[in-house]
């Protein structure tokens, strides 16, 4: 028989003398100091700072996914297999992502023969979302449910945003700068790991020559990566494990629970209703046996991504008006080009590369290219600027799209990905139920995702200003592409499906006003003393660049505020 604790059972447990508690109650209660929901780089930041800067705090991390590998939250691209064949990694990314909101499709099969069951209605498959309006959906938005989260397959690009991308962040600039430095160390960010690459140098110099008015914006991509000392042909990409550091040094102060769903944040109850400004426990479910239990703690962090975090708050009946609102997602323009012949022909005449090229042709005399097989890929960034308000990546990497396959030699291919901002609007949102549960209207209640939590539903549109900006962004990408080469057939300039950037911000935004933010500048949820949120959803701005470094920066401040809370609480007990 499955034992399922209800939130009210916590009150009974707390009010019952220890010797009178049932075996079920005793076996379904865990005690710790801090519970962290999630295991990505932001959750890892909270764990690292708390364990490192508090001498005794115990941290329990809860992850809904499994640990896919021996290294806790390691980047899967560190495998030699994928560094030798980057296009093979595309399938890893596709397998890792689970789409957030999928409207049901027409399931009527007119050619189905025999007496097989069918219907002339749209069938709501498990996990699909009948409440989703297709033209307001972020169709390609996905979640990675595994230890390490998105950091198991991310590109590791970690730019610092332009000042126009940090308008609403309530953390003062001087403090932000210090926190950004700490974030860079946690993520192990380096800007020069590809300087010895022939292709990187060719691409960067071509762009500097062709875009002279923007030469200050053309830089090496700041990446969370380090070239290996034992074999410089390979690199080590940063994952959640990089942020956590040597977790074994903390012994039993750190615990990781995998394939465990965080269901509710539980407050003390009075007459059947939650009361108070403190969370007392989290109710979790072991997904293997569907057993529920509580984890008691002094402080709680929810860092499950820009969708998962507000989802847990909503399911816990913590529903401030801004929750899920002010959502911003980036547009993506994408193309792939084959480098110009004249650029390739310059390689053997360059004295810096002559020896490498000669050694390559000696080892591989049938190769017509002047590029060694172990030459690292280009990693160039055209940064956001006032006149060109978008973020540009010129590189060769793996996404859930853009694999080259047998169409061309990958050494000749360069990917162009241009990311555009979205105007901030309170009406752009992800929701998990009707605004007024007593007046449901056309909203179909009780719809859940495949894990049994309230189904996320997007209501997102791009404004006229966004559309104009996207038009200019596309033109700029085509101009940049023409400097480098010709379009790879099948990868001509195109806008990708909404949500594919996976860079949603704003859904649990921090700020100084509870009317327009979910949490204060320290990421503590308004009206609660011991509840913090973390992740890209905390970013209150619309950004074009990758958000991870900023999310980690915000999380460092939040973790230190949590430590201060623990210290204050401990002093009050003596």
Annotated catalytic sites, by residue?
Answer: 503, 546
Q: Whole-angstrom Cα distance, residue 197 to residue 186?
A: 26
Q: How far is CA 33 from CA 300, 535, 562, in A?
A: 9, 21, 11
* Joined tokens for residue 141: 């938005």
8 Å CB contact between 518 and 526? yes
Q: How far is CA 314 from CA 36, 51, 140, 349, 479, in A?
A: 17, 29, 23, 63, 45
* Other CB atoms within 10 Å distance of the CB of residue 424: 19
Q: How far apart are the first and last CA of the chain?
A: 43
8 Å CB contact between 458 and 101? yes
311: Cα within 13 Å, side-chain hemisphere: 25
**8 membership: H or E segment, kind and range:** helix 7-15
> HEC states along 123-166?
CCCCCCCCCCCHHHCCCCCEEECECCHHHHCCCCECCCCCHHHC
Q: Which residues contact residue 549 at a Cβ distance below 8 angstroms, ignoring those fewer than 6 apart?
A: 158, 159, 160, 180, 183, 184, 187, 189
Q: Whole-angstrom Cα distance, residue 92 to residue 174?
A: 40
To 5 degrees, how large is the angle CA 97–CA 239–CA 102?
A: 15
Q: Which of 383, 400, 392, 397 is nearest to 497 (CA)?
A: 400
Q: Which of 50, 97, 41, 102 is nearest to 73 (CA)?
A: 41
Q: Whole-angstrom Cα distance, residue 519 to residue 534?
A: 10
Q: Which of 312, 297, 326, 269 is nearest to 460 (CA)?
A: 326
8 Å CB contact between 535 and 39? no
Q: Whole-angstrom Cα distance, residue 220 to residue 200?
A: 9
């Amino acid at each position: 028989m499955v034992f399922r604790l209800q939130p009210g059972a916590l009150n009974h447990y707390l009010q019952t003398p220890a010797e009178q508690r049932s075996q079920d109650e005793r076996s379904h209660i865990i005690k710790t100091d801090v519970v962290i929901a999630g295991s990505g780089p932001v959750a890892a930041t909270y764990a690292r700072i708390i364990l490192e800067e508090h001498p005794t705090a115990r941290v329990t991390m809860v992850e809904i996914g499994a640990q896919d590998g021996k290294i806790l939250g390691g980047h899967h691209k560190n495998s030699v297999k994928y560094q030798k064949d980057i296009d093979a990694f595309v399938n890893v990314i596709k397998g890792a992502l689970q789409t957030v909101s999928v409207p049901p499709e027409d399931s009527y099969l007119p050619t189905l023969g025999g007496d097989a069951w069918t219907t002339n209605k749209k069938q709501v498959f498990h996990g699909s979302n009948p409440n989703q309006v297709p033209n307001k959906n972020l169709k390609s938005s996905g979640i990675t449910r595994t230890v390490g989260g998105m950091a198991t397959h991310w590109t590791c690009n970690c730019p610092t945003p332009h000042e126009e991308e940090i308008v609403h962040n309530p953390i003062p600039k001087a403090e932000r700068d210090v926190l950004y430095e700490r974030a860079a160390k946690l993520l192990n960010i380096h800007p020069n790991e590809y300087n010895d690459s022939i292709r990187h140098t060719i691409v960067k110099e071509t762009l500097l020559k062709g875009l002279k008015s923007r030469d200050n914006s053309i830089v090496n991509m700041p990446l969370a990566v380090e070239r290996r000392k034992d074999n410089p042909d390979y690199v080590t990409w940063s994952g959640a494990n990089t942020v956590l550091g040597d977790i074994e040094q903390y012994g039993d102060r750190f615990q990781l629970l995998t394939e465990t769903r965080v269901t509710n944040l539980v407050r003390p109850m009075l007459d059947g209703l939650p009361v108070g400004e403190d969370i007392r426990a989290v109710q979790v479910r072991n997904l293997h046996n569907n057993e529920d239990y509580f984890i008691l703690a002094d402080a709680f962090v929810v860092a499950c991504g820009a969708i998962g975090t507000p989802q847990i708050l909503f399911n816990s009946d913590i529903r401030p008006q801004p929750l899920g609102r002010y959502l911003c997602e980036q547009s993506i323009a994408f193309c792939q080009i084959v480098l110009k012949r004249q650029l390739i022909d310059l390689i053997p005449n360059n004295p810096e590369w002559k020896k490498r090229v000669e050694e390559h042709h000696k080892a591989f005399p049938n190769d017509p290219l002047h590029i060694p097989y172990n030459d690292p890929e280009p990693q160039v960034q055209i940064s956001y600027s006032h006149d060109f308000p978008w973020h540009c990546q010129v590189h060769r990497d793996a996404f859930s799209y853009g694999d080259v396959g047998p169409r061309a030699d990958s050494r000749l291919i360069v990917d162009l990905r241009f990311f555009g901002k979205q105007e901030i609007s309170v009406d752009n949102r992800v929701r998990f139920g009707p605004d007024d549960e007593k007046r449901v209207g056309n909203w179909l209640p009780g719809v859940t995702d495949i894990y049994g939590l309230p189904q996320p539903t997007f209501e997102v549109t791009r404004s006229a200003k966004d559309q104009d900006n996207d038009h200019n962004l596309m033109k700029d990408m085509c101009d940049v592409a023409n400097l480098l080469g010709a379009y790879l057939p099948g990868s001509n300039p195109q806008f990708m499906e909404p949500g594919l950037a996976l860079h949603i911000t704003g859904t649990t935004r921090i700020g100084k006003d509870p009317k327009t933010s979910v949490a204060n500048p320290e990421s503590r949820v308004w009206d609660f003393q011991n509840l913090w949120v973390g992740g890209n959803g905390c970013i209150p701005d619309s950004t074009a660049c990758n958000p991870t470094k900023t999310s980690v920066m915000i999380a460092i401040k939040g973790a230190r505020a949590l430590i201060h809370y623990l210290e204050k609480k401990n002093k009050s007990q003596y």
